[in-house]
Amino acid sequence: MFQVLIHHLILYTCLVFNEFLKKSSVLLSEVFLLVLILTFSSSALANETYSIPKLVSFEFSPTEIELNSSKRIVSFELIVFHPTGIENSVIDISLKSSTNDSLSLSLRRTDFPINLQLTNVTFRGAIEIPTSIKNGAYTAESGNVIGISPLGSTAVPRANNFKVTKSLNKILGAEDSLIIRRGGYLNLDFKTFVGPSHVTNLVQTREYPNLLNYKIPIWKVGEAYNPLDYFELKVPSLELNITSKTNSVCEVENKILKFKSEGDCNFIVSTPQSKDYSYKQFEQIVQITSSRNKQELSIQNIDNQLASNLPRIINIPRVYTIANGYLIPKNLTPEICQAEDGYVNLLSHGTCRFTYQSKENQNFLASKVYEISFNISRSPQTINFDLAQSISLDKEIIGLKAVSSSGGEVNFSTITPSICKINVNMLELKKSGICKVTATQIGTELFESESVTKIINIENYKSSPMKTISCTKKNLTKKVKGVNPKCPIGYKIK
């Protein structure tokens, strides 16, 4: 505040300096001394940071006017800040619409008498909206706001064009504007949709709407054009419409443009007039050419395979198309096989399945989906399992042994546990009767499972003890073993 006081004192001194010299008897040296003191004080305070006026708030009320109503007065309030005070006594306000229609008014300081020491200054004013003005959204903007220069500075702190910073309504494109309607209609000139994302005969500059999927139109007979694929609707309350001016070539069905014959298609994409927005349209002309052909693929079958030496790779014919070149198959059974361009990696036994499809482009329709399948079969195996057909009950326990051609482990089981019992690889004889023993190899990634069953007759008798005799013939000696052993012809018992 002291700085402001000194500044005003200097200004006052400059204004009355001549009169002071004429009418007073003060010596010139004393006046000069006073000027030096004031100049020194000004220089001492001139180091304060230079800044321009700042907006505190800018509001008006009401925010919406109906021209057919008698209540058309709008009140404005502007509050600005500057650390050394505000010089303005009046601030001009302009109101402009998107179609360059304008109004203006002046706001005056509310402090009276004017206090130049105020750092926050309020300006107020009002305007009666004339009925001759066009309806629309009017943006308020202030003229120059001038702050008082810091002592010792020649720069003028000036701020231009303060605008309303807060949202006053929910109308997209006019959130901070004064809404002026006529008969309820705003007629806002706003770009309600963005596009197209492609060029046409009439439009050589494309726009890039914020669409999820970017598409290129196909201007051919039998195709369709959905405007939502190429234009972005900016106002959700409106509808994006499409109309045709050449129905013999292109016709609209359920808001979709369909191409019927060859020729020039002239169509319009638009949003309708509403209470808030004016009608907007975008006209285009495109040439429709002959329809696309559906692609046919030449696919060769693949022979069934044996699951030997897995994993392994087999070569297959490559599939070529004019539209997409060589195709990469899509795998349906990746845990069994993985097909690529020209080969298949066999991983496991089972049914290998994959598909081919040529995708659409500007000249061809997509082909149907072609599925290829073949079996990867496990190789057969054998089990070598020997067991006597008849066994005496007095044996009690017999060892079991079997060997598979796959080299896998062989397990034993029986369906006659009351006659014979399996304990891992041992057969326990329990009573006389028919014993069935099965040797099983459950299979591997490369070999099928296999089993062999042996039927054994368990007899309830004791076998005769075995005897051994020695037989001689000249200098030869031979031992003979049996229940009732006999020497060979020519030999005698020793």
Examine the domain organization and report whether 174 and 78 are in the same domain: yes
Tokens, residue 445: 């990634």
> Could you tell me whether strands 450-459 and 433-441 are parallel, antiparallel, or unpaired per DSSP bridges?
antiparallel
Examine the domain organization and report whether 449 and 336 are in the same domain: no
Examine the domain organization and report whether 80 and 160 are in the same domain: yes
Examine the domain organization and report whether 411 and 298 are in the same domain: no
Residue 329 in domain: yes
Residue 235 in domain: yes
φ and ψ at residue 33, rounded to 5 degrees? -65, -40
- The single residue listed with the structure tokens 């107020």 is 124
Report whether 109 contacts 89 (CB < 8 A).
Answer: yes
Examine the domain organization and report whether 156 and 72 are in the same domain: yes
Residue 473 belongs to what domain range?
466-494
Which conformational region is residue 342 in: left (phi greater than 0), alpha (psi within -120 to 50 degrees), or beta?
left
Examine the domain organization and report whether 79 and 169 are in the same domain: yes
CATH for 165: 2.60.40.1930
Domain boundary residue among 291, 318, 339? 291
Examine the domain organization and report whether 171 and 72 are in the same domain: yes
Examine the domain organization and report whether 154 and 125 are in the same domain: yes
Examine the domain organization and report whether 265 and 316 are in the same domain: no
CA-closest candidate to residue 460, choices 388, 386, 387, 396: 396
Residue 188 in domain: no
Examine the domain organization and report whether 429 and 473 are in the same domain: no
- Report how far residue 231's alpha carbon sits from residue 200's, in angstroms, rounded to the nearest whole number: 14
The three-state secondary structure class of 222 is: coil
Report whether 454 contacts 387 (CB < 8 A).
Answer: yes
Residue 366 in domain: yes
What is the structure's pLDDT at 82?
96
Examine the domain organization and report whether 224 and 323 are in the same domain: no
Residue 490 in domain: yes
Tell me the pTM: 0.58
Question: What is the Cα gyration radius of the chain?
Answer: 53
> What contacts 42, CB < 8 A, 6 or more positions away?
6, 7, 10, 151, 152
- Report how far residue 487's alpha carbon sits from residue 122's, in angstroms, rounded to the nearest whole number: 144
What is the structure's pLDDT at 7?
45
Residue 186 in domain: no
What is the tally of structural domains in the chain? 6
CATH for 352: 2.60.40
What is the structure's pLDDT at 49?
56
CA-closest candidate to residue 424, choices 416, 415, 413: 413
What is the structure's pLDDT at 152?
74
Residue 277 in domain: yes
**CA end-to-end span of the chain, whole Å?**
150
pLDDT tens-place values along the chain, 494 residues long: 444 444 444 444 443 344 444 444 433 344 333 433 344 334 334 444 579 999 999 999 999 999 999 999 999 999 999 999 999 999 999 999 988 999 999 999 999 999 999 999 999 999 999 999 999 999 999 999 999 998 877 889 999 899 998 899 999 999 999 999 999 999 999 999 999 988 887 777 777 777 767 788 999 999 999 999 999 999 999 999 999 999 999 999 999 999 999 999 999 999 999 999 999 999 999 999 999 999 999 999 999 999 888 899 999 999 999 999 999 999 999 999 999 999 999 999 999 999 999 999 989 999 999 999 999 999 899 999 999 999 999 888 999 999 999 899 999 999 999 999 999 999 999 999 999 999 999 988 888 999 999 999 999 876 667 788 999 988 889 999 887 889 998 888 88
Cα torsion angle, 406, 410, 414, 419, sign = positive
Report whether 269 contacts 245 (CB < 8 A).
Answer: no
Examine the domain organization and report whether 221 and 148 are in the same domain: no
Residue 187 in domain: no
In what helix (H) or strand (E) does residue 39 lie, and over which residues does it extend? helix 28-45
